[in-house]
Structure 1
Amino acid sequence: MENKTVIVTGASTGIGKAIAKLFIEKGSNVVMNSSNEVNLKKTYEEFNSPANAVYFAGDISNRETGQKLRDLAMEIFNSVDVLINNAGVFAPKPFLDVEEKDLDLYWNVNLKGTYFTTQAAIPQMIIQGEGSIINIGTVLVDHAIDGFPATAPLTSKGAIHALTRQLAAEFGKNNIKVNTIAPGTIRSPLQGKIGIEDADSLAGLHLLNRIGEANEIAEAAYYLATSNFVTGETINVAGGHTAGHAI
C-alpha cells in the first residue's frame, strides 16, 4: 500500500482514526474526512501532520463531499486506490418510538453517504484499472439483540451490506473489489455516545469474552485493501459474536 491513495471517511475518532493511522504508518497517502472539522484537525495534528496525509471536513450525506474528497486525492496524490466508507451514526431506539426524522438521519448519513462517496470514487478506479472499496457494516444485521433495539440504523447498515454485493458484481470486471467489515462491539467513543458507560460489560456477547479494539478493525481493512481475490464479502470482525453463544 506504499504510495497508494486511501480515502477514509469518519477519520477523526474511533475506528476511522485507527484506520487512517495504520495506513499512514504503512506509507499510504491518506485523505482523511470527518463532518467535525475541529476533531479532524486535532487528529491530523496528533498524527504529527504527516506529509502523506491531508484532511477535508464535510458531511458525506451531501453528494459534493464525496466529489471533493476524490478531487483532493487526485490533486494532491494523483490517484484514488482505496475508499473506506467508515463514517456513520448509530444509536438504539425502540421500534415504536422511531420517527421519520430518525430514519432520515440514518439513511442520509449511513446509506446515502456511502453511496454518494462510492459513486465519486469508482469512475477514477475504472480509469486506473483497479481499486478497493471497504464499507463498514455491523454484525447486528445478522445477529439481532432484544436488549439493543436499533431498527432505524440497522436497516441503513443492512442496505450497505446489500450494496456491497451488488457493487462487487457490477464492477468485478473492472478489477474493483468491494467488501464490508462487520464489527462487533469495539472500544470507541461511540459507546459513550449511546449511553454505554462500561463497554467491557458487553464482553460476554463475544465468544472470546472481550470487546474489540479499533486497531483490529484497521488491520482487517488493511488486509482487504491489499487482497486481490476477495470481493463481495462481509467479514465479521467480532470475536465470535455471530458464531455462537457462551452460556
Structure 2
Amino acid sequence: MSTQGRKVAVITGASQGIGAGLVDAYRKLGYAVVATSRTIAPSNRAGVLTVQGDIAETATAERVIAAGVERFGRVDTLVNNAGVFIAKPFTDYTQDDYAAVTGVNLTGFFRITQLAVAHMLAQGGGHIVNVTTSLVDNADSRVPSVLASLTKGGLQSATKSLAIEYAMRGLRVNAVSPGTIKTSMHPEETHDALAALQPVGRMGEQSDITDAVIYLENAPFVTGEILHVDGGVSAGH
C-alpha cells in the first residue's frame, strides 16, 4: 500500500500502558505510527514501525525521526508520552534519580521535538502533544514528587511557549495533564488508596488519556491548551 499522503504519528513510551493505547488510537484514525521505547518489540502490524532505544539519548531521537521519514515520508504528529516518575521526599532523591528523570522527561522531549518541528515546518504544519501530570499544578503532600514537578512543569510551560512561537506557521502544541491512571506503574493493591486521592473517588482509565489526545488531534482551533484529565484534581480538593 502506498504510504504517501497518509499522516504519520510518532509516539514515545509506546510499548505499554497509555503509549500502547495511543498507537492503537492513531492507527484507528488511519495514521501510520512510529512507536518507540526502550523495550519495544519489533512489530509486524501494517502501518506500525517500532524503533527501540532510550529517548534520553539524542541518538535515539535522531533514529526515530529518520526511520519515520524514510519509511512513511513525513511526520505530522509527535506525542511525547515517555515519562519517568519517582516520588520521594526531596532530600532522598539521588543523583541517579535526577539523571533518570531529567534524561527522559526533559532531554527526551527536547531533541525529538526539535527534529519533528523541523519536518512539520517543511510540510506546512503539524501537532505536538506533551503528556504531563496534574501534580504540576496541584502539589500534594501525600505524593512528594519534586522531580516530576520540575520536569513535567517545564514541559507544561514549554507547551505554551512552543504553541505561541509557531502559531502562525501551522503548528499546534498542546498537553494532556493526567491524574492517577490505572497502568502497570500502579500495583493493584495501591488502587484503593490512589482512588481516594481523586475528587471523583476513582482512578482514571488509560482510554481517558488516549481519548483526550485524539480530541486535541481533531481540534484545529486548540493550541497552547493544558487539558486536565484528572478526576477534578486540578479544580481542588
TM range (shorter): over 0.9
Following the alignment from structure 1 to structure 2, what is the Cα–Cα distance between the partners of residues 124 and 140?
32
* Identity, % of aligned positions: 37
Tell me, yes or no, if structure 1 residue 10 matches structure 2 residue 24: no
**Cα separation, 2, equivalents of 1:197 and 1:26:** 35
Correspondent of 1:156 among 151, 154, 170: 151
- In 2, the alpha carbon distance for the partners of 1:133 and 1:200 equals 34
May I ask how many residue pairs the two structures share in their alignment? Answer: 233
| Structure 2 residue 78 is matched with structure 1 residue 75 | no
Deviates more, 1:99-108 or 1:75-84: 99-108
Task: Please list the CA deviations of residues 120-169 of structure 1 after superposition, one character each: whole Å capped at 9, or x if unmatched.
Answer: 10011001111000001000001111111111222111111111111111
Aligned equivalents of 1:205, 1:3: Cα separation in 2: 42
Residue 98 of structure 1, aligned match among 93, 98, 109: 93
3-state secondary structure, aligned to 1:101: helix
The offset of 1:32, in angstroms, is: 0.5
Q: Give the deviation of 1:25 after TM superposition.
A: 2.2
Whether the 8 Å CA contact 2:182–2:203 is kept in 1: the answer is yes
Residue 205, structure 1, aligned to residue 192, structure 2: no
Partners of 1:143 and 1:244 lie apart in 2 by 8
The alignment's TM-score, normalised by the length of structure 2, stands at: 0.93
Check conservation: 2:86, 2:101, Cα contact below 8 A: no
Q: Hey, what does 1:227 align to over in structure 2? A: 219
- TM-score, normalised on structure 1? 0.90
Q: Which amino acid aligns with 1:56?
A: V
Give the residue type in structure 2 aligned to 1:11.
A
Q: Which residue of 1 aligns with 2:132?
A: 137
- What is residue 236 of structure 1 aligned with on the other side? 228
Task: Quote the offset at 1:198 in angstroms.
Answer: 2.6
Separation (CA, whole Å) in 1 of partners of 2:102 and 2:49: 27
Residue aligning to 2:41: 41
Partners in 2 of 1:31 and 1:153 — Cα distance?
26
Note if contact 1:103-1:153 (Cα within 8 Å) is conserved in structure 2.
no
Are residues 1:187 and 2:182 paired? yes
- 2: distance between equivalents of 1:32 and 1:237? 23
Q: Which has the higher contact order (CA 8 A, sep 6+)?
A: 1
Match of 1:224, SS state, is helix
Give the drift of 1:234.
0.8
Q: 1:17 and 1:147 mapped to 2: Cα distance? A: 29
Deviates more, 1:117-126 or 1:96-105: 96-105
3-state secondary structure, aligned to 1:191:
coil
Deviation at 1:208, TM superposition (A): 2.3
Partners of 1:225 and 1:169 in 2: how far apart? Answer: 17
Cα offsets for 1:30-62 (capped at 9, x unmatched): 0000011xxx227x4xxxx32111100011111
Consecutive unaligned residues in structure 1, runs of 5 or more: none
Q: Secondary structure at the match of 1:133?
A: strand
Q: CA RMSD in A?
A: 1.5
Q: For 2:132 and 2:18, how far apart are their aligned partners in 1?
A: 12
Q: Which amino acid aligns with 2:50?
A: Y
Determine the structure 2 residue equivalent to 1:51: 46
Which secondary structure state, in structure 1, belongs to the residue aligned with residue 189 of structure 2? coil
